[in-house]
Amino acid sequence: MMPAAETQNIASNGSSQGVHLPIYMDNHATTPMDPRVLEAMMPYFTKIFGNAASRNHSFGWEAEQAVEKAREQVARLIGATAKEIIFTSGATESNNLAIKGIAEMYRERGNHIITQVTEHKAVLDTCKRLEKSGCRVTYLPVNADGLIELEDLKRAMDDKTILVSIMFANNEIGVVQPVAEIGKLCRERGVLFHTDAVQAAGKVPVDVNAMNIDVLSLSAHKMYGPKGVGALYVRRRNPRVQIAEQINGGGHERGMRSGTLNVTGIVGLGKACDLCREEMPQETERLRKLRDHLKTRLESKLDYIHVNGSMEHRLPGNLNMSFVYVEGESLLMGINDVAVSSGSACTSATLEPSYVLKALGLGDDVAHSSIRFGLGRFNTLAEVDYVADKLIDIVQKLRELSPLYEMVKEGIDLTKIQWEAH
């Protein structure tokens, strides 16, 4: 890992000198594992291989101790207690367990759930499944900046509302919702508040008590840990949240999630949380500077580009930009030595424009021209400059082939191109 000071001192020379290709800038899809996390995990692949549920010998005891240490590490990152942490296979399972488990446990109290249109599919598809079994779901709209209106949330609540599920930070546009205000409103109304904090945990401060969060999902592989492991925070008091288990067989994790624990992955998750908690202030500042540098470089050389979502309320490493009059697939092919995304990793197989960008009011053409840059712990200033130079060059070349761009330069009004309508 290159020290921040060294990273910032690398000169911008407009070439790939000092840069190893390909460059990875898709850290919202997944992050490379930090070597320190792998080092912590290694003994649990070989020497300490016991089942954490085996309480009759030292192999099991050692594994259980490692799990409980990791539980403490995860809890410290979000201001919780260790007994409030349930280990899962990842955020998708955590979201399913939270939403389905609450819907089942509290069905005698009500059947109304509130979420928003830009949630991750792990939440949206879960809610759609629950609608088929009798739940009523309200999908809140978002403004052009990607934020919900608190007044919309207030109006949507009624005496049958049992759960509000609003993500902490969006996986495509990086917009951070007013989580503390949402939590305060839910607490006043006696409604449980779940947040998908996969993109936020480890990147921005999260405090479940100060923010009145009742249930929270997170995943290791979004914070430089291993894939296949995550956690669900479930509040134990004021109020005590009850969740019906969705996987049966053994009553592990205090009866909320049965199954043999992934000890090695859990150790990695715990170590990743510790590193994020210790290094977040410096890392946040460094990533924000790199992101803003990329944005400034692009805006200085290209016209008709636009940042999608609020810049004020945003993850430090996220930049989602539309490059109008450029076809997105051609743009990605032109920068094929740079790993970026045109949307969520979970929906990249579809040719449809991003539903998140469309919810902001973007037309199909503009949404298709959008790129998500996800800067992370191991990105350098030299890489940012290389990406900026490469992108500027390919956008200019593609626009030379675009009759629409030429028409705009000649002053022809193309109202059918929904550029600034949102």
What residues are labeled active site? 346
Give yes or no for a contact between 28 and 172, defined as CB atoms under 8 angstroms apart.
Answer: yes
CB 119 within 8 A of CB 144: no
Please report how many Cα atoms fall inside a 13 Å half-sphere around the Cα of residue 93, on the Cβ side.
20
d(C-alpha 179, C-alpha 148), whole Å? 10
Q: Which two tokens stand for residue 120?
A: 């991750």
Please state, in angstroms and rounded to a whole number, the distance separating the CA atoms of residues 261 and 64. 9
Q: To which residue do tokens 């508040």 refer?
A: 193
Report yes or no: 321 and 305 within 8 Å, Cβ to Cβ: yes
Angle at 320 between CA 319 and CA 324, to 5 degrees: 130
Closest CA to 403 of 351, 346, 327: 327
